[in-house]
């Protein structure tokens, strides 16, 4: 990729390593954003170079401190907008509050919509994210957005594994569409688990739809939070006679609370994730494979800057 004089990439404090990898892939220096705090705790952000008339991309994912990440993002957007940037594109690899996308019971908020309204109010012109919890979330934005998929990234990895007698498994009905697309792309059969949630972060698998007996199962989901669902799925698949070598693939490795210990204990053959969320050493373990989304995001940013379609990248 050739350097662009009128393109700038800034990073929030949530995932500087990913932002640096994106900039490196584009042969661009990562622009500097000064971020600090006032004595009272309020956030201060200021770009340290001119952005007047430029396409500006902010890379800020949502990590364990999602509220801090969003507040910092809003202030960075405002600073860049007031610095006369031509367009402010927000790159949020892992979109926080995405699971709160509907009213499932009376008096609940739709927090995914609220976040999108706040991003728009801050002055963003465009959002790029990866693998929403639900595709309907795209409809909440009042401006164009790109919801990227990791299907090709995962498919390329699986092709290199050359697994025999494998089946793609969706851990619930909500994940069935994306798992089905991956299965079709790889020409593999699909199985679907049904589950119930008696409470938050608690999942119980009720049945397995599809043939998994004697097969190498590849569980595919959008995210791993506390890992309760995938651990329950692992047990259900073994009970149905699946090969003991069960793989787990998920775009977002949130790994909250007991997730890492649960995954270690369950002993998946491999846990394959992307780097949409930074993983410190204490959250890494044997069998964890991390695929980088930086090359994909670099290509998408280049396409957006040049007003080209991003379809081929997906």
Strand, helix or coil at 83? Answer: coil
HEC profile for 28-70?
A: CCCCCEEEEECCCCCEEEEECCCCECCEEEEECCCCCCHHHHH
Q: DSSP 3-state assignment of 239?
A: helix
Please tell me the distance from the alpha carbon of residue 189 to that of residue 286, in angstroms, as a whole number.
Answer: 28
The answer to whether 250 touches 273, Cβ cutoff 8 Å, is yes
Q: Hey, how many other C-beta atoms are within 10 angstroms of the C-beta on 287?
A: 14
CA distance 252 to 291: 11
Residue 147, Cβ density class (10 Å: 0-12 exposed, 13-18 middle, ≥19 buried): middle
- The DSSP symbol for 298 reads H
Torsion of CA 119, 290, 229, 133, to 10 degrees: 30
Residues annotated as catalytic are 195
Helices (DSSP H) in the chain: which residue ranges? Answer: 16-25, 66-81, 111-122, 151-161, 176-186, 228-239, 259-266, 294-305
CA nearest neighbour of 260 among 277, 243, 244: 277
CA distance 72 to 257: 24
């Amino acid at each position: 990729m050739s350097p662009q004089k009128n393109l700038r990439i800034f990073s929030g404090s949530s995932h500087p390593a990913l932002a640096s990898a994106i900039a490196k892939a584009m042969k661009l220096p990562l622009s500097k954003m000064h971020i600090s705090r006032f004595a009272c705790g309020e956030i201060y952000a200021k770009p340290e170079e001119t952005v007047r008339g430029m396409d500006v991309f902010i890379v800020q994912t949502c990590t364990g401190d999602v509220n801090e990440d969003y507040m910092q993002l809003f202030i960075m957007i405002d600073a860049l907008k007031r610095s006369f940037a031509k367009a402010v594109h927000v790159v949020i690899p892992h979109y926080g509050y995405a699971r709160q996308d509907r009213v499932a019971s009376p008096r609940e908020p739709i927090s995914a919509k609220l976040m999108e309204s706040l991003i728009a109010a801050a002055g963003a012109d465009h959002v790029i994210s990866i693998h929403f919890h639900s595709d309907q979330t795209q409809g909440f934005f009042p401006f164009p957005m790109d919801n990227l998929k990791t299907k090709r990234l995962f498919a390329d990895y699986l092709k290199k594994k050359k697994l025999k007698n494998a089946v793609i498994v969706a851990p619930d009905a909500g994940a069935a569409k994306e798992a089905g697309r991956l299965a079709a792309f790889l020409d593999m059969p699909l199985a679907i688990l049904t589950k119930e949630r008696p409470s938050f972060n608690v999942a119980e698998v009720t049945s397995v739809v599809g043939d998994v007996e004697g097969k190498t199962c590849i569980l595919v989901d959008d995210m791993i939070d506390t890992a309760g669902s995938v651990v329950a799925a692992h047990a259900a698949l073994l009970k149905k006679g699946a090969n003991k070598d069960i793989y787990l693939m998920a775009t977002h490795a949130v790994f909250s609370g007991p997730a890492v210990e649960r995954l270690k204990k369950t002993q998946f053959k491999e846990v394959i994730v992307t780097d949409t969320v930074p993983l410190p050493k204490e959250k890494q373990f044997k069998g964890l494979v991390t695929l980088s989304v930086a090359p994909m995001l670099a290509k998408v940013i280049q396409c957006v800057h040049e007003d080209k379609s991003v379809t081929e990248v997906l």
